[in-house]
Amino acid sequence: MSMQELATRLLLTIAASLALAAPALAQDDPIGRVLDCHAGQEAWLEAAAHNARTLETLEWEPFGRETGWETYVPMTQQEIGTTCAPTTPGFAAALAAFQARYELEADGVFGPATFQVFKGVWQERRPFVMARVRGECPRAPERRELAEFDYMEETARRPGRMVQAEALAAFRRMVADARAQVPEIAADPLLLTVYSTYRHPDIDGVRCEDDRNCDGLRRATCSAHRTGWALDINVGQAPGYGVDSTHPYNRLVQSRGPAYRWLVANAHRYGFVNYIYEPWHWEYVGPGASYAP
């Protein structure tokens, strides 16, 4: 028996003992969650062990740069409807149910084919992406359609950031609730501020050329930010990196933070969906947004 299997079986034994000692554990109790993710899930031990091995050392790279898939754990958990850690049998069981719904091999293992389905599902929730698939570039809004952020809602305290009025109202409701619910977010005035919102197509083209930070002419002329529905939201950063750094370590740190995890769990209730590669990039699609498994 491997050390991983031995450790997992030991945890199951402890969980079973706790269950006998405290059968009426509350559903929101951390120990209760451990029991749910381990007890009675022996069939998924091997899948759990595989997921534990690849969490930080994948043999493939989801976006061509990573060496693991931990960055995508919050969105994956939300999609498959589990709070179980990615190294547990409970997570593997929930993942297998997702795989079965999409006619994949229901083995509970996080792999390339499964990730491609996740990626497709998440991208299909973004109207901008679907328009681009159809060869369309959504129109830029008229100035009268846009509302302006208060300068205190902007990361660098710059005035003049704008977004579609409906999106701004939803953003403000979302941020107020997040700050009321999560002390760590409330304690950091920069978390859940914005640093990129509506960008005029001409300005975006200049930025693309100057920064050499674009996907050729396509991004220069048709960024999601031209629509007025896209927001880059400050979800923190790794030391030494910018809030919009796509370095794998920075994105990993962001995915572990309270702001991003709260957004993943709650932003859809306010009409926002995430671009999975960028923890900071959220698009307002209206109150019909859903991550329901």
pLDDT tens by residue, 60-72: 888 877 789 999 9
pLDDT band at 95 (very low <50, low <70, confident <90, very high): very high
Residue 103 neighbours by CB under 8 Å, 6+ apart: none
Residues in the chain: 293
CA 278, distance to chain mean position in Å, is 8
Give kind and range of the element (H or E) at residue 220. helix 216-221
Rounded to a whole number of angstroms, the distance between the first and last alpha carbons of the chain is 35
* Count helices and strands in the chain by DSSP H and E runs: 13, 6
The encoded tokens of residue 46 equal 């091997």
Q: Specify whether the backbone of 240 is left (phi greater than 0), alpha (psi in -120 to 50) or beta.
A: left
Question: Encoding tokens for residue 19?
Answer: 């269950």
State the Cα torsion 244-250-255-259 to the nearest 10°: -50
**24 pLDDT above the threshold of 50:** no
Q: Identify the bridge partners of residue 154 per DSSP, sorted by sequence position.
A: 194
Supply 131's token pair: 């328009």
Q: Is the pLDDT of residue 13 over 60?
A: no
Residue 118: alpha-carbon gap to chain centroid: 11
> Per residue in 198-218, is it b (16+ CB within 10 Å) or e — as a string?
bbeeeebbebbeeeeebeeee
pLDDT digits (tens, 9 = 90+) for 119-175: 999 999 999 999 989 999 888 899 999 999 999 999 999 999 999 999 999 999 999
In this predicted structure, the answer to whether residue 200 has a pLDDT above a threshold of 80 is: yes
